[in-house]
Structure 1
Amino acid sequence: MNETQYIRDTPTKIRKRQGAVLMLQGTASDVGKSIVTTALCRIFLQDGYRTAPYKSQNMALNSYVTLDGKEIGRAQGVQAEACGIAATTDMNPILMKPIKDMFSQIVIHGVPHMQMSAMDYRTQFLPKAKEIVLDALDRLRESYDIVVMEGAGSPAEINLKDRDIVNMNLAGWADSPVILVADIDRGGVFASIVGTLELLEPHEAARVKGFIINKFRGDLALLQPGLDWLEERTGLPVLGVLPYIQDMRIEAEDSVVLDELQYQRQEKRDLDIVVIRYPRISNFTDVETLRWEPDVVVRFVQSVDELGTPDVIILPGTKDTISDLGFLQDRGLADAILRQTQQRDVQLVGICGGYQMLGEQLSDPHAVEGSVREAKGLGLLPIRTSFLKNKRTVRVKGELLPEHPLRFVTSDTEVDFTITAYEIHMGVTEWSAVSDGSGHRPLFSIEADGTDSLKAIEDIQPHIEGIATSDGRIWGSYLHGLFDNDVFRRSWLNGIRIKRGLIPIPETFKAEERKFAEFDRVADIVRNHVDMKKIYEIIGYAH
């Protein structure tokens, strides 16, 4: 029995088939599957269908914390929001978080399972994964009218197809029709579509019901002869040609998008914020709302030459803090950042792994994140971090402490500095100096967390989180999503403006409203450029 037969013939219990399924697969990574999936989720919701997203196996360092404190891929969390529902681990039952080359942390239903090499994952874990992914899919189909399934990479990876659990094998198990998404902006769109079909087995190719061509910038009339040829060659319809969507504000999960952000031309604005892009950057979506602010430019940099003289330097999250700290040191960025804090009135912010880097010492006795066991931090905050085997994944609520230097108000009106955020980390950080006389102060008072979703808020012990210098110029926190809090974000930016001699500006937008408006904007674009009637026919719904 070969490997393909092994995974297809694994005994499977009788399963209920209720909600309809539709699968989006791509000719390659980063062709836009996640965005098209998000848009279709929103369209189906707008049309009155209870809809849920699903990706059986995701590899991403941008993750999302569910209401019950579990970790899934960020794309599925965002897609759930587009569906107007709370995300659950059934929407992404297996998450792979790369640690280093060829090794990943395997997260099953939101809980870390183990670290595995790529080969061990393929040979030891994948043969057992079918029941995990199908049980999760069954539960979604029992609860929703439509489940929009997203594939990964390409379904035509010949070396991986035999133990596939995320593309065509999954489509077969779910008896799902497939729409193939291709990116015309990268070139070779017709070759990528036809080549993908040619490399599929006949029963796999039979599942493909049409194509969506994404990121088109030109005159559709000039493309039409190619579309006609493609339909004649394959016997399948082009369901739509989506335009290249400028300035899209739906959170991405793949750091590939940073290539475009890093090198795109930036218009000059009042505040220049630099985000250090180290190799294992994670949850870089923390700064997404800063990019929406009219007075802010956000730049991702990897070298001293790119650093410039920013108003703010942000050290974001990372999956391997010690390794990425080594990257800063090897590239000269660590010394450059220290010089900036000593010679200029720059603000330095560390979030999660970046927060840990700002401290004095990092210890990884169990090799949780990597092979290096000890490292000296940047020494800018009096904290020490130890990496433990248990991961903290939790949603939190609290407030910025009263009279904190990060509080800047523009009127006498009382301002609510309540914040909501989430934590994803395996490090435990402690102050290495007593706060009295040290010139440092805590940042947030956390009044509740979601570790136990059944526990009343008043039963949860409050605690202090984060640390800042007395002037607020250097600060760090484990809290992801801080800048999604409108009052905190605008107050913080106005404090920087005041120090620059600029007039503070009032609140410019509400992040949550902007997020849902962006779902609707992108859904409208897709609806206007895709044959939704045919898509409903493909999934078996007359519309």
Structure 2
Amino acid sequence: MKQKKAKSIMIQGTMSNAGKSLIVAGLCRIFAQDGYKVAPFKSQNMALNSFITKEGLEMGRAQVVQAQACGVEPSVKMNPILLKPTTDMGSQVIVNGKVQGNMRAMDYFKKKKDYIPVIKKAYEQLASEYDIIVIEGAGSPAEINLKQDDIVNMGMAAIADAPVLLVGDIDRGGVFAQLYGTVELLNVSEKERIKGLIINKFRGDEEILKPGLSMLHNLCKKKVVGVIPYLNVDIEEEDSLAEELSQKVCTKAIDIAVIRFPKISNFTDMQALSMEKNISVRYVNKKSELGNPDVIILPGTKNTMKDLLWLRESGLEGTILRLVSKGSLLFGICGGYQMLGEKITDVNGIEGNGSIRGLGLIPMNTIFEPEKTRTQIEGITLDALGSLAILSGKKIKGYEIHMGRSIFTQEHQAFAVFKGKKDGYWKENVIGTYLHGVFDEEEFRKAFLKFLFQKKGLDPKEISDLTLEEYHNQQYDLLADGIRSHLDMKEVYRILEKGGSHA
């Protein structure tokens, strides 16, 4: 019996943040709506936003979003290699969901061809299970200094024998130069693999654009298969270029200020709050921007010690402590939670060496250890006192992903319990937890929002009845509708059917 092999199509971009991840998610949704069993794939992702699967394995958040758009369970086979930058010159390398160690960029570049068998195996397993694989590239395929031993753009397209659609971002300007220049920097076989061009994030009258599309077609000998407008959808993004990170001004009734650490990670933890019409989630990296918010969130970070030092040097630490002393609610998640303690120590060179003083709001010390905690968990919040009592006894779930072990120096009130294991801390107006996705579970989130609404004198009836899953599905359908309306899907299906080997 012949083994099933999925058809594939690949989305590459002229640059980072051209919109590849969203277009892949949209195509995944469209193909799923059309009755196909679909999976996303990205051979190598570089991002600080990650996710832990049911098996306790780590993968990039973008492929999780794309899997959700497909209606399938996320798997590390969809993202076999994940790079999490720890410094400007190096990253933590994660293969098949497990940490392999930290590498300098040059060392990884020399070694990356060794991962080709890993990539092939993951892709082939997916191809045997699904009808269609939608593959995402990274950055640009025309980085001529990096093309040797490429495993994520044209190198991956060759492994999968996938046709390629090339996406350019018109919103950032120079889209014709982006697309033409990228095509011209490719070799003959790579050019042949590009079956169509997509102009993304368009605003304006397409009639004005049409002469340029004809000229581009004549120059590149590639058809423009779609001009996709700037779509007003709320889909999780995973990197530091995400638009929500530029939101600095409170525009709604309740003000939540998230500290934008230089190495911020898993800021997708806040999406469940930002979907509320009365909640303003903004990202702050200067003390002059902080103001007097209702909630301050210290989010996850890939380098807790360096980002704590940054918090101190920027003056934000002092401002936050003054606000907390006056009653502002401070919520720390993962690395942000570690910062709330008395001291953080690293003797294993995980993030550096030595120790650093914490904010001193929790009687807790954290020690970095080589083994990373990776697990999905669910449980219940424990009893809280005072105004936080409304949050007691609520269902809560998410995932842990950290390399620190926190030890309390005195009796404390834990935040939650998971299968007999206590996590976190809360007292008065300070809450800390290792749990990513802490606001995703409806029961806890609604209680948290009710607490904020009542404190602000707002009617809790205005809290949305939507679950996060329902909200996600609404947004995936909006994304699919927008892309289907502006992409020549008949041509996309023709390209998909014909494959990548034909000129």
Please indicate the TM-score interval, normalised by the length of the shorter structure: over 0.9
Partner Cα distance (1:16, 1:384) in 2: 54
The answer as to whether partners of 1:361 and 1:374 remain within 8 angstroms in 2 is yes
Aligned residue for 1:467? Answer: 425
Letter in 2 for 1:356: Q
Q: Is it true that 1:249 corresponds to 2:237 in the alignment?
A: no
Partner Cα distance (2:352, 2:320) in 1: 25
Post-superposition offset of 1:501: 3.6
Partner Cα distance (1:521, 1:407) in 2: 38
Aligned residue for 1:432? Answer: 409
Specify which of 272, 297, 308 is matched with residue 314 of structure 1. Answer: 297
Partner Cα distance (2:458, 2:27) in 1: 43
Partner Cα distance (2:481, 2:389) in 1: 39
Instruction: Give the secondary-structure state (helix, strand or coil) at the position aligned to 2:369.
Output: strand
Deviations 1:70-108 (A, max 9, x none): 000000011111111111111000000000111100000
Post-superposition offset of 1:336: 0.8
Q: Is it true that 1:45 corresponds to 2:49 in the alignment?
A: no
Aligned residue for 2:246? Answer: 262
The answer as to whether partners of 2:24 and 2:134 remain within 8 angstroms in 1 is yes
Moved more, 485-494 or 280-289: 485-494
The answer as to whether partners of 1:407 and 1:495 remain within 8 angstroms in 2 is no
Post-superposition offset of 1:487: 2.2
Instruction: Give the secondary-structure state (helix, strand or coil) at the position aligned to 2:18.
Output: coil
The answer as to whether partners of 1:406 and 1:491 remain within 8 angstroms in 2 is no
Specify which of 469, 482, 492 is matched with residue 535 of structure 1. Answer: 492
Aligned residue for 2:357? Answer: 376
Instruction: Give the secondary-structure state (helix, strand or coil) at the position aligned to 1:483.
Output: coil
The answer as to whether partners of 1:56 and 1:133 remain within 8 angstroms in 2 is yes
Partner Cα distance (2:425, 2:247) in 1: 33
Aligned residue for 1:385? Answer: 366
Return 5+ residue gaps in structure 1 as ranges. Answer: 1-14, 410-414, 436-440, 448-461
- From the superposition, tell whether residues 220 and 407 of structure 1 become closer, same or farther in structure 2 (CA, over 3 Å): farther
Aligned residue for 2:414? Answer: 442
Q: Is it true that 1:57 corresponds to 2:44 in the alignment?
A: yes
Partner Cα distance (2:234, 2:65) in 1: 12
Aligned residue for 1:458? Answer: none
| 1:116-515 equivalences in 2 (<5 Å) | 116-123=103-110, 125-246=111-232, 248-258=233-243, 261-263=245-247, 266-267=250-251, 269-342=252-325, 344-368=326-350, 370-402=351-383, 406-408=388-390, 417-435=394-412, 441-447=413-419, 462-469=420-427, 471=428, 473-505=429-461, 507-508=463-464, 509-515=466-472
Instruction: Give the secondary-structure state (helix, strand or coil) at the position aligned to 1:128.
Output: helix
- From the superposition, tell whether residues 127 and 199 of structure 1 become closer, same or farther in structure 2 (CA, over 3 Å): same
CA RMSD across the alignment: 1.7
- From the superposition, tell whether residues 21 and 70 of structure 1 become closer, same or farther in structure 2 (CA, over 3 Å): same
Aligned residue for 2:78? Answer: 91
Aligned residues: 496
Partner Cα distance (1:357, 1:349) in 2: 11
Letter in 2 for 1:284: F
The answer as to whether partners of 1:180 and 1:210 remain within 8 angstroms in 2 is yes
Identity %: 46
Partner Cα distance (2:87, 2:245) in 1: 24
Partner Cα distance (2:470, 2:196) in 1: 34
Post-superposition offset of 1:263: 4.6
Post-superposition offset of 1:363: 0.8
Return 5+ residue gaps in structure 2 as ranges. Answer: none
Deviations 1:137-191 (A, max 9, x none): 0001011011110000000001100121000111112211000011100000000
Deviations 1:409-439 (A, max 9, x none): 8xxxxx972122111101111211123xxxx
Specify which of 480, 483, 497 is matched with residue 526 of structure 1. Answer: 483
Deviations 1:219-249 (A, max 9, x none): 1111111111111222211111111012x21
- From the superposition, tell whether residues 514 and 263 of structure 1 become closer, same or farther in structure 2 (CA, over 3 Å): closer
Deviations 1:240-270 (A, max 9, x none): 1111012x21110111114x64257652x22
The answer as to whether partners of 1:64 and 1:72 remain within 8 angstroms in 2 is yes
Aligned residue for 1:33? Answer: 20
Letter in 2 for 1:229: M
Instruction: Give the secondary-structure state (helix, strand or coil) at the position aligned to 2:388.
Output: coil
- From the superposition, tell whether residues 319 and 378 of structure 1 become closer, same or farther in structure 2 (CA, over 3 Å): same
Instruction: Give the secondary-structure state (helix, strand or coil) at the position aligned to 1:95.
Output: strand
- From the superposition, tell whether residues 212 and 265 of structure 1 become closer, same or farther in structure 2 (CA, over 3 Å): farther
Post-superposition offset of 1:112: 0.2
Partner Cα distance (2:113, 2:245) in 1: 38
Post-superposition offset of 1:540: 0.6
The answer as to whether partners of 1:416 and 1:487 remain within 8 angstroms in 2 is no
Letter in 2 for 1:430: I
The answer as to whether partners of 1:407 and 1:492 remain within 8 angstroms in 2 is no
